[in-house]
Every structure is written in structure tokens, then in C-alpha cells.
């Protein structure tokens, strides 16, 4: 089950790609070399990637719970498969 926002964002987004982007943002912020205006923009970008990662994890957790309970599980969307 894929969130509506990720569906609209495109099928190329994966947990791994979002996590990599988030790590890039964190590294830039931790470098101390980012001007304040850019720092705020990158922080906002990082929060979007974090939210997307949480959605991927939530979707995966739901599927696992469904599998554990023996319930029917909808097929995984292409965007939720690891790359």
C-alpha cells in the first residue's frame, strides 16, 4: 500500500533513495558550512525525505502485520520495492 503523496511524486522513489537523500541533507547541515538561508531550505527538504521514509516504513510494517495475522496482503507497489 503506497501513500497518495508518494504515488503522485513518481514511482522512482524508494526507501533507499529517500534515505540517501536524507543522509546527504544531514551531512550538509552537520558540515557547518551552509549559509543560514540554505540551511533552512535544506532542513525543510530533509523533513520531507524523513516523512517519506516514515511512510515507507509504516507501509512495510502494515504489510508484515497482515502477513503475520494470515490476512490478505495487497501486492507491493513498484515504488515500495528496494532498489
Rounded to 10 degrees, what is the CA torsion of 49, 51, 54, 56? -70
* pLDDT given at position 79: 47
Predicted TM-score (pTM) of this structure = 0.70
Q: Tell me: the pLDDT tens digits for 56-80? A: 999 999 999 999 988 776 666 644 4
Q: Please state, rounded to an integer, the average pLDDT across all residues of the chain.
A: 83
* pLDDT given at position 83: 41
Q: Domains of the chain, with CATH numbers?
A: 11-68 (1.10.287)
Between the two ends of the chain, the Cα-to-Cα distance in Å is: 17
Q: 37 pLDDT band (50/70/90 cuts)? A: very high
Q: 21 pLDDT band (50/70/90 cuts)? A: very high
Amino acid at each position: 500500500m503506497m501513500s497518495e503523496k508518494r504515488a503522485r511524486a513518481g514511482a522512482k522513489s524508494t526507501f533507499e533513495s529517500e534515505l540517501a537523500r536524507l543522509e546527504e541533507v544531514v551531512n550538509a547541515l552537520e558540515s557547518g558550512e551552509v549559509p543560514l538561508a540554505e540551511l533552512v531550505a535544506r532542513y525543510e527538504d530533509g523533513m520531507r525525505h524523513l516523512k517519506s521514509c516514515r511512510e515507507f516504513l509504516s507501509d512495510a510494517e502494515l504489510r508484515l502485520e497482515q502477513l503475520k495475522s494470515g490476512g490478505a496482503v495487497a501486492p507491493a507497489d513498484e515504488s515500495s520495492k528496494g532498489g
